[in-house]
Structure 1
Amino acid sequence: MRNLVTGAAVCAVIATVAAAEVVAPTEVVFEDGAVATSLTGTAGDIENGATLMNKGAGNCIACHQVSALSNLPFHGEVGPTLDGVADRWSEAELRGIVANAKMMFDGTMMPSFYKTEGFIRLGDAYTGNAHEGEVAPLLTAQEVEDVVAYLMTLKEE
C-alpha cells in the first residue's frame, strides 16, 4: 500500500511538471490583446515581480509611476500610473499588456517584453549595427508571470 501511495505521489508531481510547460513567445494566444492562459502554469512570484519593476529588462518604473514603490527613485511619466491597475485590467489583460502591449494598444511605445520576432530593425546594443542571430525575449515567461502577479496587487485603496 505504501508503494502505491508513493507511486501515486510521484506521478502527481510528474503530471504537474508536464502541465507547467512554458508557452514560447511565438505560441502565445492573444484574444483582444489579453492572454488568458498562464505562460508557465506556475504562479507568479510577487516579490520578484516587484524587483523586476525597477531592475533588469523590466524596469517598468522608468515609464510608469507606482506609489507602492515610492522608495525607489526616478519614476517616469511616459506611461500611465500603475496605481490601481488591478482594478482597471484583468489578470489576462495585464498578461497580454506585459507580453506584448502592441496587441492591445496599437502604436504604443511600450516594449514587447515577450516577443522574439517581427521586429523592423533590431539593434545590437549600442554598436549601431543590426542584431544577428536569434532574439531572446526581454523577460522570460516566468518573469512575465511574476510582473503580472505584482501588478495584480496594485488595487485602489
Structure 2
Amino acid sequence: MKRHIILVAGLALAATTSHADVTSPDDVVSNEYGDVAESLTGVPGNPTRGIEVMTDRGLGNCIACHQVTALDAYDFHGEVGPSLDGAGDRWEEAALRGIMVNAKAVFPDSVMPSFYRVSGFTRPGDGYTGNAAEGPLSPILSAQDIEDVVAYLLTLRD
C-alpha cells in the first residue's frame, strides 16, 4: 500500500513539474529594449497574487519605492521610483516583464533590483563579512511571482 501511495505521489509530482515549463533566469530572452515577450512560466499571471507580491516585505515589496493609489490600504508607499498608477496604459506586457526581470537592461541608472536575474552583476555580500556570497544565487522573485505582478500592473489603467 505504501509503495502504491508513493508511486502515485511521484507520478503526480512529475506531471506537475513537467507541465510547468519555467524559463530559468539565465535563459530569459529580451530584445534590444529589454522587453521580454515570452511568459516565464506559460501560466497566466494572477493579479490578486500580484498585489501580495507587491506589498509583502519578504517578496517584491514594490510599494517601498513606488506609489500605487489602488493600494492605498497598504502603508509606506515610496517615492524613489515612478508612480505605477496607469502602468497598464504606459507599458506593454513585454516591457513590464522586462523591467521586472532585469531593470538595468531597460533603465541603466535605475536603483531597482533585477528581480529575476542571477548572474552578470556584482554579487551581494555574505552577511557582514565583506566577502562575496558563495554558491549559486536564487532570483529575488520566482518566475510566477513576476507573471503575477505583471498581471496586476496591467490592470492599472488611467
Under a length normalisation based on structure 2, what TM-score does the superposition of the two structures give? 0.84
Decide whether the 8 Å contact of 1:19 with 1:41 is kept in 2: no
Distance 1:130-1:81 versus aligned 2 partners, 3 A rule: same
The partner residue of 1:96 within 92, 98, 109 is 98
Q: Establish whether residue 135 from structure 1 lines up as the match of residue 137 from structure 2.
A: yes
Q: Establish whether residue 69 from structure 1 lines up as the match of residue 71 from structure 2.
A: yes
Mark the runs of 5 or more structure 1 residues left unpaired by the alignment: 1-13
- Match of 1:35, as an amino acid? V
SS at match of 2:55: coil
- Trace 1:108-147 onto structure 2 (pairs within 5 A): 108-147=110-149
Once the two structures are TM-superposed, the CA of residue 127 in structure 1 deviates from its matched residue by: 4.6
Identity of aligned residues (%): 57
Q: Establish whether residue 60 from structure 1 lines up as the match of residue 62 from structure 2.
A: yes
Partner of 2:3: none
Task: Write out per-residue CA displacement over residues 53-111 of structure 1, whole angstroms, 9 at most, x where no aligned residue.
Answer: 11123000000000010011100000000000110000010000011111111121110
Q: CA RMSD in A?
A: 1.9
- Match of 1:21, as an amino acid? D
Distance 1:126-1:150 versus aligned 2 partners, 3 A rule: farther
Decide whether the 8 Å contact of 1:53 with 1:60 is kept in 2: yes
- Trace 1:1-80 onto structure 2 (pairs within 5 A): 18=18, 20-31=20-31, 32-55=33-56, 56-80=58-82
Task: Write out per-residue CA displacement over residues 35-58 of structure 1, whole angstroms, 9 at most, x where no aligned residue.
Answer: 000000001111111011111230
- Match of 2:93, as an amino acid? E
Distance 1:126-1:43 versus aligned 2 partners, 3 A rule: farther
CA distance in 2, matches of 1:92, 1:125: 35
Number of residues paired by the alignment?
143
Partner of 2:7: none
- Match of 1:73, as an amino acid? D
- Match of 1:51, as an amino acid? E
Under a length normalisation based on structure 1, what TM-score does the superposition of the two structures give? 0.84
CA distance in 2, matches of 1:123, 1:131: 5
